[in-house]
Amino acid sequence: MPQEPSQNQITTVHLFVEKSRVPAFYPLLARGFIVKTRVGCSVKALICSCLGMNADYLEQRLQTIFLDGKAVDDIETTVVREGATLALSAAMPGLAGATLRRGSAYAAMRNQITHQKGTCGESTKDGTICLKLFNLVAADIGQLFLEKGILISGKYFGDLFRSAPDKIISGVRSGEVDGVRMSTDQIVSMDWEQTQVFLKLEAV
């Protein structure tokens, strides 16, 4: 039986989930998860070369991109540095969505929250960023990230079970914590507040 998670510990959780219930875990992607990647490169290079998304998907679907809370217009010159937070979203509705969209004619209205152009002259290196996926982007590619595994706050993991317990618990067939098979009830009842969780889903 594994011990309760402790502060600064990374606990591996492997859940076997009914395929139709995988979307119930997408809110975790919007809260943010840690990704090992190359940093010091442009937003475009990181998305295409490091995260593996193709250029067509980038141009057609990723209409709204935020880096450290500021909207990105120029994905080829804006640099993603170590520890940055990168948020990816499809087009959002209404005037707010139009204003935040990349290359929008309304971009001048958000000058204070627009990421200024940088340079990619610095050397790229291995590092980590916090990645957030919203709306249709999470629906498109979220399962791929969850199947590979995501590193998230244990608090977010615990909050998810508390916010929609029936929808999630009923869809989890079985699970493992640090390699030890446990019931869903056992996993839910653990105190996740003081740990990080490497969560991996397997659709069944």
Q: Is 18 left (phi over 0), alpha (psi -120 to 50) or beta?
A: beta
- Give the torsion sign (CA, 73, 75, 77, 83): positive
Q: Are 147 and 114 within one domain?
A: no
Give a yes or no: residue 27 inside a domain.
yes
pLDDT tens-place string over residues 168-202: 888 999 999 999 999 988 998 899 988 999 999 99
Is 129's pLDDT higher than 70?
yes
Q: How far is Cα 110 from Cα 87, in angstroms, rounded to an integer?
A: 17
Q: Is 18 in the same domain as 45?
A: no
146 pLDDT band, cuts 50/70/90, is very high
Mean pLDDT of the chain: 84
Residue 175's domain comprises 1-31+143-204
Q: Which of 92, 122, 152 is the last residue of a domain?
A: 122
135: left (phi > 0), else alpha (psi -120 to 50), else beta? left
The residue among 93, 122, 151 that closes a domain is: 122
Q: Look at residue 131 and tell me whether its pLDDT is greater than 90.
A: yes
The answer to whether residue 78 is domain-embedded is yes
User: Are 51 and 107 in a shared domain?
Assistant: yes
Domain total of the chain:
2
Domain end residue (candidates: 122, 157, 187): 122
The answer to whether 171 and 18 are in contact (CB under 8 A) is yes
Are residues 45 and 26 located together in one domain of the fold?
Answer: no
Inside any domain, residue 162: yes
88 has pLDDT over 90: yes
Is the same domain home to 45 and 107?
yes
Give the model's confidence band at 130: pLDDT under 50 very low, under 70 low, under 90 confident, else very high.
very high
Given a cut of 60, whether residue 133 has pLDDT beyond it is: yes
- Residue 58: inside a domain: yes
Per-residue confidence (pLDDT) for residue 2, from 0 to 100: 45
pLDDT tens, position by position, 93-117: 554 544 555 555 445 544 544 444 5
Across 17-26, 73-82, 84-93, least confident range: 84-93
Residues 112 and 165 in one domain: no
Tell me if 151 is assigned to some domain: yes
Report the predicted TM-score, pTM, of the whole model to 2 decimal places: 0.82
